[in-house]
Amino acid sequence: MRESVRLTVDGRAVLAEAGVTVAAALWNAGVLGLRRSVGGEARGVLCAMGICYECRVGIDGVPHRRACMELVADGMVIGTGAAAPDVPRPASRVPERVSVEADVAVIGAGPAGVAAACRAAESGARTLLLDDAAASGGQIHRRLPGQPPPEAARSWLERLERSGAQRIAGATVAEARREGEGFVLLADCGGAALAVTARRVILATGARELFLPFPGWTLPGVLGAGGAQALAKGGASLAGRIAVVAGSGPLLLAVAAHLAKAGAEVALVAEQAPLGALAIFGSALALAPGKLLEAARYRAAFSDTPFRTGAWIAEARGTDRVERVVVEDGSGRFEIPCDLAAVAHGLVPNTELARLLGCGTESGAVRVEAQQETTVPGVFAAGETCGVAGIDVAIAEGEIAGLAAAGRDASAAPPLLRARARGRSLARRMARAFRPRAELRRLARPDTVVCRCEDARLASIAACGAAREAKLAARAGMGPCQGRVCAPALEFLFGWDSDTVRPPARPVPLGHLAREETT
């Protein structure tokens, strides 16, 4: 065990392991309800990767801090629910503003962004790599700062070290726009404003999980699948907890394996896709032996756990946290007691910054041509932001984008092009196999919260005719996550396109908007 730090949580002294996230420390202390929703419900961690803003707590007198992104520090004072401050303590200092220039600015330090930054820097471009998270690696290699990267990420991260690319961790990019010949980015860096001027931009912002509403999905202890994994990676202890993993996609197996390894008892893995669809996908996998091995390995890690296809969570129950889930399989319903439900229906590309820049999208992903250039000249995109296709594609696209943004021709690198093509075609089959079934549209009841930021319920949203109208009339998508959680759900439920993105794409201190030298 690492050394301990002393926290004060709602007036109570709490010991936490040094270096973990605030969300993990609170989880370990048995505090699952982190904030009171607009309607007064307890809410806890959902995405655990900084995008849903459900885990907002007060930290050292400042409200609305993301518990999943902040790390504990000795003496930290945390307020949850009604104990969180309403208004920040008057700032002791004016926020600083730092300006940086680069030839190539890469947003997102997942596999795609790291590969892009390596290639761009190695090609001689002054390269800057920005990420919201405290340590590079992205979702798959998420870790705490100071922890050694997993084996699979090490060679790329060492290469990044050598490449000369400048890295800024904990930088949340909130705005991006064209300015003259280049681009301007505005980020928040732990309360300081960071302004980046770059000739080229590479968007490698990855994906988030697709959350579909069902009764009880807002109870603390109901997390995303990757969310539960990320919470554990952030230092949450799962020893002895009973978990149900449900939803859709290959990620479920990886998550179940991870939770089991972290000491959880995985009571069930429920995949909503029918066995038949998976069998077709399985034969596609046979063409990609690496993937098959991976799946077998995950399966071995929780071989005692029942794995059901064609089954999904219809409801979560509990008073102030999840106590059991109701699972449905088309022929009946049964209940499973649990401490944790890890639920997601696949991934949704993060396209907000791309859309702010005016980049075209298609089926919810950023559109790119052969060199990974978007419809906006000078802006490139790579990895899951261009569509969900796994780590190999992310790396290949990152490399291509990095080369191209540095002015080199990536078509001189056929292995990269082949890796990309192979991966993208597999991804298309995967998306079909794991498509959420129609029954999931009927889970939410009229009083089920759909927009968690604003507690907008299904009935009030269903009375509208489009996402923008639902936003104006029912407040769906008006909160700090800016529709990242509910907009994809509304698209699934009603077929609505999401409303236009308005800056800032991420919440940012108002003071950061006060200094813009240019037009």
Ligand X SMILES: Cc1cc2nc3c(=O)[nH]c(=O)nc-3n(C[C@H](O)[C@H](O)[C@H](O)COP(=O)(O)OP(=O)(O)OC[C@H]3O[C@@H](n4cnc5c(N)ncnc54)[C@H](O)[C@@H]3O)c2cc1C
Applying CB under 8 A, which part among 84-92, 145-153, 164-172, 339-347 lies near another protein?
84-92
Q: Which does 109 bind (CB under 5 to 8 A by kind): ligand X, another protein, none?
A: ligand X
Among the listed residues 205, 374, 482, 498, the single contact to ligand X using CB under 6 A: 205
24 DSSP assignment: H
Helix intervals (H) in 434-485: 458-462, 467-474
Q: Which residues pair with 97 in a beta bridge?
A: 193
Maximum CA pair distance of the chain? 63
Residues 130-169 that bind another protein (CB under 8 A): none
Contact 219, 43 (CB under 8 A): no
| Residue 323 binds another protein (CB under 8 A) | no
Nearest approach, Cβ of residue 484 and ligand X (Å): 10
- The closest of 156, 501, 205, 159 to 380, measured between CA atoms, is 205
Q: Which does 511 bind (CB under 5 to 8 A by kind): another protein, ligand X, none?
A: another protein
Nearest approach, Cβ of residue 97 and another protein (Å): 11
| Residue 139 binds ligand X (CB under 6 A) | yes
71 DSSP assignment: B
Token output for 233: 């990676």
Q: Which does 172 bind (CB under 5 to 8 A by kind): another protein, ligand X, none?
A: ligand X
Cα(480)–Cα(470) distance, integer angstroms:
16
Residues 423-482 that bind another protein (CB under 8 A): 465-466, 468-469, 472-473, 479-480, 482
Three-state DSSP class for residue 345:
coil
Task: Calculate the alpha carbon distances from 506 to 161, 182, 189, 202, 503 in Å.
Answer: 28, 22, 12, 18, 8
152 vs 275 by CB, closer to ligand X: 152
137 DSSP assignment: S
- Each residue 306-345 as x (binds ligand X by CB under 6 A) or -, in order, gives ----------------------------------------
Cα(298)–Cα(281) distance, integer angstroms:
17
Q: Which residues pair with 177 in a beta bridge?
A: 184
5 vs 486 by CB, closer to ligand X: 486
Residues 223-282 that bind ligand X (CB under 6 A): 226, 229-230, 251, 254
Token output for 406: 């540095």
Kindly determine how many residues on this chain lie close enough to bind ligand X according to the rule CB under 6 A. Answer: 38
| Residue 91 binds another protein (CB under 8 A) | yes
Alpha carbon of residue 399 to chain centroid: 22
Among the listed residues 253, 347, 356, 443, the single contact to ligand X using CB under 6 A: 347
Q: Which does 108 bind (CB under 5 to 8 A by kind): ligand X, another protein, none?
A: ligand X
Nearest approach, Cβ of residue 241 and ligand X (Å): 19
Nearest approach, Cβ of residue 476 and ligand X (Å): 20
Residues 246-305 that bind another protein (CB under 8 A): none
Nearest approach, Cβ of residue 113 and ligand X (Å): 5
What element of type H or E holds 285? helix 275-285
Crossing angle of helices 486-494 and 467-474, rounded to 10°: 120
- The closest of 101, 104, 99, 10 to 59, measured between CA atoms, is 10
| Residue 504 binds another protein (CB under 8 A) | yes
What element of type H or E holds 472? helix 467-474
Token output for 101: 């220039």
Q: Which does 90 bind (CB under 5 to 8 A by kind): another protein, ligand X, none?
A: another protein
218 vs 482 by CB, closer to ligand X: 482
Among the listed residues 82, 98, 292, 514, the single contact to another protein using CB under 8 A: 514
Nearest approach, Cβ of residue 383 and ligand X (Å): 2
| Residue 36 binds another protein (CB under 8 A) | no
| Residue 41 binds another protein (CB under 8 A) | no
| Residue 502 binds another protein (CB under 8 A) | yes
Between strands 62-66 and 97-107, the pairing is unpaired
Task: Calculate the alpha carbon distances from 455 to 159, 300, 502 in Å.
Answer: 45, 40, 21
Residues 163-202 that bind another protein (CB under 8 A): 175, 177
Task: Count the residues in the chain.
Answer: 519
| Residue 513 binds another protein (CB under 8 A) | yes
Contact 144, 416 (CB under 8 A): no
Among the listed residues 63, 274, 282, 364, the single contact to another protein using CB under 8 A: 63
Cα(231)–Cα(229) distance, integer angstroms:
5
Applying CB under 6 A, which part among 1-9, 134-142, 480-488, 495-503 lies near ligand X?
134-142
Task: Calculate the alpha carbon distances from 497 to 2, 351, 478, 489, 493 in Å.
Answer: 47, 13, 15, 10, 11
- The closest of 250, 459, 230 to 347, measured between CA atoms, is 250
Q: Which does 63 bind (CB under 5 to 8 A by kind): another protein, ligand X, none?
A: another protein
Cα(186)–Cα(484) distance, integer angstroms:
20
- The closest of 127, 146, 123, 126 to 136, measured between CA atoms, is 146
| Residue 39 binds another protein (CB under 8 A) | no
Contact residues toward ligand X (CB under 6 A) are 49, 107-113, 130-133, 138-140, 171-173, 204-209, 226, 229-230, 251, 254, 347, 350, 353, 383-384, 390-391, 394, 506
Contact residues toward another protein (CB under 8 A) are 38, 62-64, 86-88, 90-91, 94-95, 175, 177, 465-466, 468-469, 472-473, 479-480, 482, 502-504, 507-519
